Structure 1
Amino acid sequence: MEFQSINPYNGKLIAKHIAHTSDEVQSMLDRSQTAFQSWRKVSIPARAKLMHRAGEVLRENLETYAEMITLEMGKPISEARGEVNKCAWVCDYYAEQTEAFLADEIIATDASKSLVKHEPIGAVLAIMPWNFPFWQVFRFAAPSLMAGNTGILKHAPNVFGSAKMIEDVFTKAGFPEGVFQNLIVHHDQTENIISHDAIKAVTLTGSEGAGSAVAALAGKYLKKSLMELGGNNAFIVWKDADIDQAVKTAIVARMMNCGQSCIAAKRFILVDEIYEEFVTKFTAAVQLLKAGDTLDDTTQLGTLARKDLADQLQSQVKRSLEAGATLLSGGNQKDCFHEPTVLGNVKPGMPAFDEETFGPLAAMIRANDIEEAFELAENSKYGLGVTVCTRNIDLALEMSSRVSDGAYFINELVKSDPRLPFGGTKRSGYGRELAKDGMMEFINRKTIYVK
């Protein structure tokens, strides 16, 4: 089988990638299992030295890796550089923190000594998406490899060039053969891979449908799984907020990566008193965004990664308008490019409210007061994160329990940070990535008891 990487900006072929055969896949899985037996015995300081080196390789090849990201999935080159640098950060973070994270945990009991040891479990399969083709992989790989596990990557087919470069990062950094491997396979190989004895856990970042299917397979074969799925984040603005600052934050929260992010702000829930002011200023700011050549440093808005994704967003826009929403700006599509679009008077029952909109579409929603704003925010099958903009920090903190999402940000867009746990609730998935929590997902917490 042959896969093609197509530049969504101009439709040109970037590269062709030949799928691994079934025999090659089995050999790679066996190699991962063998590599684990020796890698788990490597000291944490020795692993840390290699992980620091991976961060250096990323920085040394910043332009090469950033260009591949941009060519394959269409984000502006400036954002692609930021993604690569963030990957280097997560490498350094786990290189520096793992020894403390994996230290024995002494627990007082009636034993003469009792403790919990933290040991690796084996090979972790990562099924990763195209929207952050480097970052999504490194936020799994850095903690997993530092814990002593081995990694197997099954990336999205449209970013196989990025996948090969990621494998090359670990090779250049000096990681032993088999510790991190990249599979070029179709998704119909997923069950065969998960069922292999080498695979001890599966982590997936992707759509709700993909997560459900892979979680079912992981359950079938009794493998640990972590699911980071879709989102429909609310961005709530109270009447006392700094509106200019809220708009500035909101533009990044919605339009970064051309809106192709699970944690992007998608539903802007505005209390009645500031609705018109926020919508007017936000719409004006959207219209100033510069679209164009994604390799141009001044471009702020790229294309969607594939035409079918732009088609889907266009359908959501049209169906929302038919349901009574108001078109305030944009609304047009050409091939993979979809204009940044603002819809007004969006209400529950409309696609722009109920569905995850994976692209540059902002839904403006009016709330009578703070209470209704939180009710609207909770009116979603997803639960990744919520932003609240206000000057009343104490009240915002007090009301954090009003939302069931995995993250609650005050006066800031929801974002991932290596130092903080990341993950969702409801149909946004389960488990946590990053921080100590992310490392503990794929660790055997072994109880030791001495009478």
Structure 2
Amino acid sequence: MEFQSINPYNNEPVGKFTALTKEELNEKLTKSQIAFESWRKISVAERCQHIRNAGQILRDNAEQYARMITLEMGKPIFESRAEVNKCAWVCDYYADNGETFLAHEIISTDASQSFVRHDPIGAVLAIMPWNFPFWQVFRFAAPTLIAGNTALLKHAPNVFGSAQFIEEVFTKAGVPDGVFQNLIIHHDETENIIAHDAVQAVTLTGSESAGAAVAEIAGRHIKKTVLELGGNNAFIVWEDADIDNAVKIAITSRMLNCGQSCIAAKRFILMEAIYDEFVAKFTKIVSDLKSGNPLDDTTQVGPLARKDLADQLNRQVKESVKQGAQLVLGGTQKECLHEPTILGNVAPGMPAFDEETFGPLAAMIKAKDIEHAFALSEQSRYGLGVTVCTKNIEKALSYADKVSDGAYFINELVKSDPRLPFGGTKKSGYGRELSKDGMMEFVNRKTVYVQH
């Protein structure tokens, strides 16, 4: 089988990739198992140095890697550069903190000595998406490899060029052969890989349906999973908010990566008193965003990664308008290019409210008061994050326990940071990435008890 990555801006081929045969795949799985036995014995300090090296290689080759990201999935080149540099940051973070995170945890008991040690578990399969083709991989790989595990990457077929570069980064960083391997395979092979003795856990970032399918397979084989799935984040603006600042944050949150982000703000829940002002100012800025060739440094909005994704977004827009939403701006589509779109008077029951909209579509929703705003926010099958914009910080903090999502940001867009745990609730998945929590997902927290 042969895969081809296509530039979504001009429909030109970027690269061709030949799938592994079953024999080649089995060889890689066995190699991962063998590599684990030696990699786990290397000191944590040495493993940290390899990951630090990876961070420097990312910086040294940022332009080359950023160009591949943009060619394969269409995000503006300046965003691709930022993604590569964020990957370098996560490498630095875990290289700086890995030894501390993995140190024995001393616990006082009736024993002469008792503690928890953190041992690696084996090979971890990472099933990764196309929207942040470098970042999603490195935020998993840096802590997982430092912990002493090996990694197997099954990337999205439209970004296999990025996947090859990622494997190259670890090779150049001095990571031993077999410790990090890129698998060019069709998703039909996923079950066989999960069932293999080498694989001890699976992490997936992707759609709800993909997460459910992988969790079911892994559950059958009693193997741990971490799932980072979809999102339908609420962006709540109170009457006392600095509207200009709220709009600025909202634009970045919704339009970054052409709206193709699980943690993007998608439902803008606005107090009635400031609804018109917010929508007008938001619309003015969005209408001025420059669309075009994503390789151009001045382009702010590129194409969606595939035509089927643009078709899906267009369906959601049309159905929402048919159900009573107001088309404030945009709404047109040509191939992978979907015009930035704003819908007003969106309500529950419309696709723009109920579904995850993966593209440059902002749904504007009126709330009668703060309690109503949070009730609307909770009216979602997803639970990744919520933003609240207000000058009353103490009052906003008092609502933190009323939000069921995995993140609650005040006067800032929901974003991932290596220093903070990241993950969701409900249909957004389970488990945490980043910070110490992300490293602890794939270790054996082993109790050691000594009585003299």
Residues 242-253 of structure 1 mapped to structure 2, 5 A cutoff: 242-253=242-253
Structure 2 distance, partners of 1:46, 1:371, is 52
- 2:423 is matched with which residue? 423
Does residue 150 of structure 2 align to residue 147 of structure 1?
A: no
- 1:271 is matched with which residue? 271
Structure 2 distance, partners of 1:58, 1:207, is 28
- Aligned-residue offset at 1:49: 1.2
- 1:256 is matched with which residue? 256
The 10-residue stretch of structure 1 (421-430 or 398-407) with the greater mean CA deviation from structure 2:
398-407
Residues 292-331 of structure 1 mapped to structure 2, 5 A cutoff: 292-331=292-331
Identify unmatched segments of 5+ residues in structure 1: none
- 1:160 is matched with which residue? 160
Q: Match of 1:230, SS?
A: coil
Read off the aligned partner of 1:259 and give its amino acid letter: G
1:253-305 deviation per Cα after TM superposition (whole angstroms, max 9, x unaligned): 00000000000000000011100000010011100100001101110001000
Structure 2 distance, partners of 1:263, 1:299, is 22
Q: Match of 1:68, SS?
A: helix
RMSD value, Cα: 0.4
1:397-436 deviation per Cα after TM superposition (whole angstroms, max 9, x unaligned): 1111111000000000000000000000000000000000
Q: Match of 1:25, SS?
A: helix
- Aligned-residue offset at 1:48: 1.3
Residues 162-241 of structure 1 mapped to structure 2, 5 A cutoff: 162-241=162-241
- 1:440 is matched with which residue? 440
Q: Match of 2:202, SS?
A: strand
- Aligned-residue offset at 1:44: 1.1
- 1:83 is matched with which residue? 83
Q: Match of 1:152, SS?
A: strand
Q: Match of 1:422, SS?
A: coil
1:28-54 deviation per Cα after TM superposition (whole angstroms, max 9, x unaligned): 000000000000010111111111110
- 2:409 is matched with which residue? 409
Q: Match of 1:418, SS?
A: coil
- 1:40 is matched with which residue? 40
Structure 1 distance, partners of 2:37, 2:16, is 34
Q: TM-score under structure 1 normalisation?
A: 1.00
Identity of aligned residues (%): 72
Structure 1 distance, partners of 2:145, 2:330, is 45
1:136-195 deviation per Cα after TM superposition (whole angstroms, max 9, x unaligned): 000000000000000000000000000000000000111000000000000000000000
- 1:127 is matched with which residue? 127
Structure 1 distance, partners of 2:321, 2:393, is 36
Structure 1 distance, partners of 2:232, 2:137, is 22
The structure 1 segments of at least 4 consecutive aligned residues displaced by more than 4 Å after TM superposition are none
Q: Match of 1:286, SS?
A: helix
- 1:372 is matched with which residue? 372
Q: Match of 2:415, SS?
A: coil
Structure 1 distance, partners of 2:21, 2:194, is 16
Read off the aligned partner of 2:276 and give its amino acid letter: E
- 2:94 is matched with which residue? 94
Structure 1 distance, partners of 2:288, 2:275, is 20
- 1:65 is matched with which residue? 65
Structure 1 distance, partners of 2:444, 2:181, is 22
- Aligned-residue offset at 1:79: 0.1
- 2:74 is matched with which residue? 74
Read off the aligned partner of 1:356 and give its amino acid letter: E
Read off the aligned partner of 1:104 and give its amino acid letter: H
- 1:289 is matched with which residue? 289
Structure 2 distance, partners of 1:306, 1:264, is 19
Q: Match of 1:250, SS?
A: helix
Identify unmatched segments of 5+ residues in structure 2: none
- Aligned-residue offset at 1:5: 0.5
Read off the aligned partner of 1:77 and give its amino acid letter: I
How many matched pairs?
A: 451
Read off the aligned partner of 1:394 and give its amino acid letter: E
- 1:110 is matched with which residue? 110
Read off the aligned partner of 2:312 and give its amino acid letter: Q
Read off the aligned partner of 2:243 and give its amino acid letter: I
- Aligned-residue offset at 1:69: 0.1
Structure 2 distance, partners of 1:2, 1:303, is 24
Q: Match of 1:191, SS?
A: helix
Structure 2 distance, partners of 1:317, 1:161, is 32
